[in-house]
């Protein structure tokens, strides 16, 4: 670099412009790195707070670029862990199930008794006429839903132990089939917003 004392006024202006250009490029580079850090910086993806009514409220965040199936798998696992600790977590409306080939069949049943499912809710139960039993797959795990009534489009989640309690042999159910369960009435717990959380009982 030339001695500043040997520079002409034009040389000094040119040098200043060059420095300003390099400074601008560095600032853009720093801004880009800062943006990447903000996008990929680790943050809490689970949080539980206590509302004004004293009830726990959970927040579950998706990781950047996380597939929807993986997010719902983490959501279900989080709920199971909360339930194991006696914490009731308000659930959103289940996601739209995957399309399944329509067949008319009765689910396999078994005669052995099954343990009753434990259900906790502060909302009064709702009932609707069941029509079909369908399955969705998530991370290799099967989830069952009952469709019917005003839930004919998306259905309401029903756990395996509740199906077993109603006399179904869950191990023999075929996830690729749609079963006819029109002989049953579904009993549903709802959350504070009036949305269904799960079916806790099936009766004839």
**pLDDT (0 to 100) of residue 57:** 74
| Among the listed residues 54, 96, 59, the one whose alpha carbon sits nearest the alpha carbon of residue 78 | 59
Residue 122, pLDDT above cutoff 60: no
Helices (H), the chain: 9-40, 68-84, 160-165
Average pLDDT, the chain: 76
| Among the listed residues 190, 200, 199, 92, the one whose alpha carbon sits nearest the alpha carbon of residue 148 | 199
- Per DSSP, the three-state class of 80 is helix
- Over 20-46, what HEC string results? HHHHHHHHHHHHHHHHHHHHHCCCCCE
> 84-101 pLDDT, tens per residue?
777 765 555 555 555 555
Give the residue-averaged pLDDT of 14-41: 76
> Distances in Å between the alpha carbon of 147 and those of 111, 130, 131, 172, 199?
24, 6, 6, 20, 11
Least confident range from 31-35, 130-134, 138-142: namely 31-35
Give the residue-averaged pLDDT of 43-69: 69
Domain spans, the chain:
46-84, 92-204
- Greater pLDDT, 146 or 139: 146
Q: Which residue has the tokens 């396999």?
A: 108
Question: What confidence category does residue 9 fall into, taking pLDDT thresholds of 50, 70 and 90?
Answer: confident
**pLDDT (0 to 100) of residue 43:** 52
């Amino acid at each position: 670099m030339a001695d500043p004392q040997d520079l002409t006024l034009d040389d000094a202006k040119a040098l200043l412009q060059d420095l300003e250009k390099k400074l601008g490029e560095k600032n853009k580079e720093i801004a880009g790195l800062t943006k990447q850090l903000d996008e990929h910086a680790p943050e809490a993806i689970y949080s539980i707070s206590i509302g004004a009514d004293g009830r726990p409220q959970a927040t579950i965040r998706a990781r950047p670029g996380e597939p929807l199936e993986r997010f719902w798998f983490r959501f279900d696992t989080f709920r199971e862990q909360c339930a194991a600790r006696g914490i009731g977590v308000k659930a959103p409306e289940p996601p739209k199930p995957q399309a399944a080939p329509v067949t008319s069949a009765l689910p396999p049943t078994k005669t052995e008794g099954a343990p009753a499912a434990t259900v906790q809710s502060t909302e009064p139960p709702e009932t609707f006429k069941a029509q079909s039993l369908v399955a969705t797959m998530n991370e290799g795990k099967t989830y069952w839903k009952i469709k019917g009534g005003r839930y004919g489009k998306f259905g309401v989640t029903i756990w395996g132990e509740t199906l077993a309690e109603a006399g179904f042999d869950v191990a023999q159910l075929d996830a690729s089939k749609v079963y006819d369960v029109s002989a049953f009435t579904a009993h549903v717990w709802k959350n504070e917003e009036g949305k269904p959380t799960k079916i806790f009982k099936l009766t004839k």
